[in-house]
């Protein structure tokens, strides 16, 4: 049976993408607090951006952030509209940016959906992998996480 799981180098692309996003946007690198394989539902935050992959890979990447972190990011970008809709747009845009950055390392055969934006911190369920990779981080004392639930197509 072929091993379709992501390798460490592919997962590192997402960690670096997260680092680069914050460094570029805020000039302050996030602290990556852990990266692990989840064994059950992952407890997320209130605002979630989900990008679906197809083509050479299948699966999802979810960016999950609390509202305060998103407000701080928007204010740093000189955005004064801190409505729930704008917070959802922001987390969706972050997920889209991370996916786009990952595509550079994973190849042009990777198709990326428009981000789905979800409100609520219900457990983030694995849909593709039995154990998705969870990257937890802190930025400006705020927690966030990125769940990489994808695999190579056979």
Query: Angle at the Cα of 133 (from 129 to 52), degrees rounded to 5?
Result: 60
pLDDT at 74 over 90: yes
Q: According to the model, what pLDDT value does residue 1 have?
A: 36
* C-alpha span between 127 and 26 (Å, rounded): 32
Burial (0-12, 13-18, 19+ Cβ within 10 Å), 115: buried
**pTM higher than 0.95 for the full model?**
no
pLDDT tens-place string over residues 134-152 = 999 999 999 999 999 888 8
What whole-number distance in Å separates Cα of residue 153 and Cα of residue 54?
9
pLDDT confidence of residue 3: 54
pLDDT band at 90 (very low <50, low <70, confident <90, very high): very high
| Secondary structure (3-state) at 110 | strand
Say whether pLDDT at 114 is over 70.
yes
Query: Given the DSSP bridges, would you call strands 47-55 and 142-152 parallel, antiparallel or unpaired?
Result: unpaired
pLDDT computed for residue 2 by the predictor: 44
Whether residue 115 has pLDDT greater than 90: yes
pLDDT for position 122: 61
The length of the chain is 154
Q: Is the backbone of residue 141 left (phi > 0), alpha (psi -120 to 50) or beta?
A: left
pLDDT at 73 (0 to 100): 94
User: In sequence order, what are the beta bridge partners of 118?
Assistant: 48
Identify whether the C-beta of residue 112 lies closer than 8 Å to the C-beta of residue 60: no
What structural domains and CATH numbers belong to the chain? Answer: 8-152 (3.40.1550.10)
Residue 37 confidence (pLDDT): 85
* pLDDT value at 39 more than 70: yes
Q: What is the mean pLDDT of residues 11-39?
A: 89
Does 10 score more than 70 pLDDT? Answer: yes
């Amino acid at each position: 049976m072929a091993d379709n799981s992501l390798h460490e180098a592919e997962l590192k692309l997402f960690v670096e993408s997260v680092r680069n996003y914050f460094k570029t946007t805020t000039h302050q690198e996030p602290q990556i607090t852990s990266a692990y394989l989840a064994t059950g539902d992952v407890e997320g935050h209130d605002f979630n951006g989900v990008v679906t992959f197809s083509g050479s890979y299948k699966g999802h990447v979810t960016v999950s952030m609390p509202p305060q972190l998103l407000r701080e990011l928007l204010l740093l970008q000189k955005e004064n509209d801190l409505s729930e809709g704008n917070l959802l747009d922001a987390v969706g845009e972050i997920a889209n940016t991370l996916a786009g950055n990952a595509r550079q390392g994973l190849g042009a055969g990777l198709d990326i959906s428009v981000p789905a934006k979800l409100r609520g911190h219900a457990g983030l369920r694995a849909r593709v992998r039995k154990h998705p990779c969870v990257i937890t981080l802190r930025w400006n004392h705020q927690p966030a996480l990125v769940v990489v639930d994808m695999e190579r197509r056979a």
